[in-house]
Chain A
């Protein structure tokens, strides 16, 4: 097991990349702590799978280095890296029995048969397939096959990391929950570094200690679910995490005040250097009442525990989460909790000034 370091890493699928646009992965420095459970979250095509394949060695990065611990493995083959990877679609060896499928990675490494048997039985129990061990893998359902793939990924104890590339896409919702819980348990038990790629935020937030958000070939933020929710580092994180995503309004920020396009002044919870950008506020922290900005309501969705109000403020869409039992006023106005407002310039979050900076 080892800490995985990506140094000045970048990748382009083109032979001669010229502009930044040609890169599937933009240059990045990133460290995956040993034993961490990470979720790699982002929309389709943002470079998640590319990054994963670079770590596992299926792909050689066009720039930069990959280090396991202190060892440079950029040019090492997949087999030497001792990594397990589970793919989006089930990969099973059809002609083998379920048992042989699970034992395959161990046998290829010449492990002791008694150990293999014990290990396979343990994994089979974990994925709930003890009854099917001697069956042929061919003709099993997609989720049974994917469970075998997962099992094959977890069967080796000594791996440096286990990478999951959207492994639960084909599995039905109930089983998804179950398997995710098992993965977490496995993580606690063995402490493998796990990187879990997904585009489903619930999956990411429930699985991981640290969530890494990728956008357009870049890691835009790494943090705990709470950090991602409260202080998104990039407007994409604001949009992507939470449902619905963060609201953004154009604003001129100076000190602890933001001036909107119509001149309305909004109080901020911290002090900022002068900047023209946006303020971002979660729909959960917008309250509906008789004071503040006039809201034009477009639609109200009842989602059970609360209601979602989709409307417009100053011509920009704005969503409000309304707790149960609160009535919608006749001429609704919205106000924001100052502490919960974040400021963005060019899509990146602007950190508040510390008192020292303010003095200077």
Chain B
């Protein structure tokens, strides 16, 4: 039988093409364009080649922001993942309190980022904030506006408060899928609490846990709104993370070329790490089979 050839079917792809073009490809290409050209704002472009990339790669300012960013992501992952697992392990398995805990855990996730920032900004203020006044009353010298360590602590505690729920809820879902017989068998085998965690709970949580880590890594690596609202990147540059620095450069100083080169590299780093994660995860699945 002869196949009908009708290339007009390709027209059906047009809506998607247009959508993707305007939502992703064209904006990205604009950034690429800025990254390789110099412009003075009047749509006059001068070819700059790799100059901006060269400048950015050797920029101490970017190195500083990247260092702080990596440290921030590492710290919040190191806190949120174990804490999330711990919370999930201790949540009730069924009944009224299970639903209650789920709702309670989901609440922070529902609050818009800038609201979270504002909450903590006010909460931590030494003059009117409950946390700030409270710590001061305890004799602790706390002021996130002029002490870098206090600023870091505030930003980290805020992120932990906001996002540990996500890790906990994902782990909880993983735990709920373990049949009761596994725990019974472990009791028969006289397994210790640690063995139960290590050989039953952790393997069953592995899949969701990796997704949780990936999500938390990406989100924290791109974090902007919350620290910006609380500390504005200060004191000094101490909480200026990559996004904050990027916005300062692009919008504040209007250095479009360097900012574009910066954002492309930023994008590539996230892409690279996500790809590594994805590869590791799929390889783990393959091993299983």
Contact = CB atoms under 8 A, between A and B. Distances in A.
B195 A58 contact: no
Interface stretch (A31-39, A93-101, A327-335): A93-101
A108 B199 CA distance: 13
Interface string B192-221: 100100011001000000000000000000
Given A87-B181, A108-B195, A138-B288, A93 B200 contact: yes
Contacts of B179: 89, 91
Contact of A95 (B190, B199, B289): B199
A152 B187 CA distance: 13
Nearest to A84: B188
B-side interface size class: 10 to 19
Chain B interface mostly: helix
A79 interface: yes
Contact of B184 (A87, A105, A138): A87
A278 B182 CA distance: 46
A56 interface: yes
Interface string B21-43: 00000000000000000000000
A91 B185 contact: yes
Contacts of A91: 179, 181-182, 184-185
B189 interface: yes
A186 B288 CA distance: 33
A287 interface: no
B191 A104 contact: yes
Contacts of B188: 56, 58, 78, 83-85, 105, 153
A201 B187 CA distance: 30
A152 B189 CA distance: 8
A108 B288 contact: no
Contacts of A56: 188
A88 B191 CA distance: 20
Interface string B256-289: 0000000000000000000000000000000011
Contact of A93 (B192, B199, B288, B289): B199
Interface in B156-204: 179, 181-182, 184-185, 187-192, 195, 199-200, 203
Contacts of B192: 108
A95 B182 CA distance: 14
Contacts of A105: 188-190
A104 B190 CA distance: 9
A57 B184 CA distance: 10
A85 B185 contact: yes
Residue of A88, A108, A139, A149 ringed by the most chain B CB atoms within 10 A: A108
Contacts of B182: 91
Contacts of A174: none
Nearest to A165: B181
A57 B181 CA distance: 13
Interface string A82-124: 0111011101011110000000110011000000000000000
Contacts of A138: 288
A225 to B, nearest CB: 29
A58 B190 contact: no
Nearest to B189: A105
A89 B180 CA distance: 11
Nearest to B202: A95
Contacts of A108: 189-192, 195
A77 B188 CA distance: 10
A58 B288 contact: no
A58 B184 contact: yes
B185 A87 contact: yes
A79 B190 contact: yes
B256 to A, nearest CB: 51
A85 B182 CA distance: 12
Interface string A53-78: 10011100000000000000000011
Given A56-B188, A78-B187, A85-B184, 19 more contacts: A57-B187, A58-B184, A77-B187, A84-B188, A88-B181, A91-B181, A91-B184, A93-B200, A104-B191, A104-B199, A105-B190, A108-B189, A108-B191, A108-B195, A109-B190, A139-B288, A149-B185, A152-B185, A152-B189
28 contacts: A53-B184, A57-B187, A58-B184, A58-B187, A58-B188, A77-B187, A78-B187, A78-B188, A78-B190, A79-B187, A85-B184, A87-B181, A87-B184, A88-B181, A89-B181, A95-B199, A95-B203, A104-B189, A104-B191, A105-B190, A108-B189, A108-B192, A109-B190, A138-B288, A139-B288, A139-B289, A152-B185, A153-B188
